[in-house]
């Protein structure tokens, strides 16, 4: 798995298009939110900014790039060749997405750390870390499921669009409007509960037990996406 991850990391930095769209652009958007934090806190809160930054990086930098990578490796038969080695299926997939996952976590950590330094740290750092990890797991699972519907790297620009824009829209909606109304619906939407969890972890004022319950919808989405990936993911191009 580690040898696959190392090879994938090298390819990632060699591909300028993927490097720009998957790594630089999400970081630039997040930096904009950070720079304009005073404006956005008038709309929502610091927790809202933290959640939107997290989902911007997780959606563009992790989810979209992972789908494109898996589709590309399938198209050039790299996945097929890897399956002829001693590596297990889970080890192959883990190796391919590990560099993207680590980079996304580092990016989120850096941006949120800077946000905390500039505006004041989060009320509950451990809860915030749990929320970030759960979100990354959800976006990875959704990437595996979406990759099963994606025929080529070019096709990924279309198949990833609904979830990429959807989770950011949900994060913005829940971060601004809160969950006082239609709480169950907002929490069941992909990213809704994670946004509320991160916002509460940053802003404080919520009991720990109540906040941890917000993990359940996100974990449910992980299970659903993994189940879909198991049925739809293909290791070879369609003939």
pLDDT block averages, 10 residues each, the chain of length 239? 76 68 69 65 78 90 91 87 84 90 90 84 89 95 93 89 94 85 89 92 79 90 94 82
Q: Report pLDDT for 18.
A: 66
pLDDT at residue 177, as a whole number:
83
What pLDDT score was predicted for residue 117?
A: 83
CA distance 51 to 17: 26
- Report how far residue 183's alpha carbon sits from residue 163's, in angstroms, rounded to the nearest whole number: 21
So what's the pLDDT on residue 62?
A: 92
Per-residue confidence (pLDDT) for residue 16, from 0 to 100: 67
Sign of CA dihedral 105, 218, 91, 82: negative
What's this model's pTM, rounded to 2 decimal places? 0.89
What does the alpha-carbon distance between residue 124 and residue 76 come to, in Å, rounded to a whole number? Answer: 45
Distance of CA 96 to the CA centre of its chain: 15
């Amino acid at each position: 798995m580690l040898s696959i991850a190392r090879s994938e990391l090298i390819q990632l930095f060699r591909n300028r298009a993927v490097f720009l769209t998957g790594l630089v652009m999400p970081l630039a958007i997040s930096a904009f939110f950070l720079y304009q934090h005073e404006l956005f806190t008038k709309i929502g809160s610091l927790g809202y900014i933290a959640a939107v930054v997290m989902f911007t990086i997780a959606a563009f930098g992790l989810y979209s790039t992972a789908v494109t990578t898996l589709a590309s490796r399938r198209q050039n038969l790299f996945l097929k060749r890897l399956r002829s080695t001693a590596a297990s299926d889970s080890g192959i997939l883990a190796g391919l997405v590990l560099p993207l996952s680590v980079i996304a976590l580092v990016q989120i950590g850096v941006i949120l750390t800077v946000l905390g330094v500039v505006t004041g740290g989060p009320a509950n750092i451990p809860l915030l870390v749990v929320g970030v990890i759960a979100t990354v797991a959800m976006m990875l699972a959704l990437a595996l499921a979406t990759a099963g519907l994606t025929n080529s790297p070019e096709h990924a620009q279309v198949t990833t669009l609904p979830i990429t824009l959807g989770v950011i829209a949900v994060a913005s909606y829940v971060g601004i409007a809160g969950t006082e109304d239609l709480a169950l619906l907002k929490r069941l939407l992909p990213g809704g509960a994670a946004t509320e969890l991160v916002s509460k972890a940053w802003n404080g004022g919520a009991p720990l037990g109540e906040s941890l319950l917000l993990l359940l919808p996100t974990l449910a989405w992980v299970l659903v996406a993994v189940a879909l990936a198991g049925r739809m993911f293909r290791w070879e191009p369609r003939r």
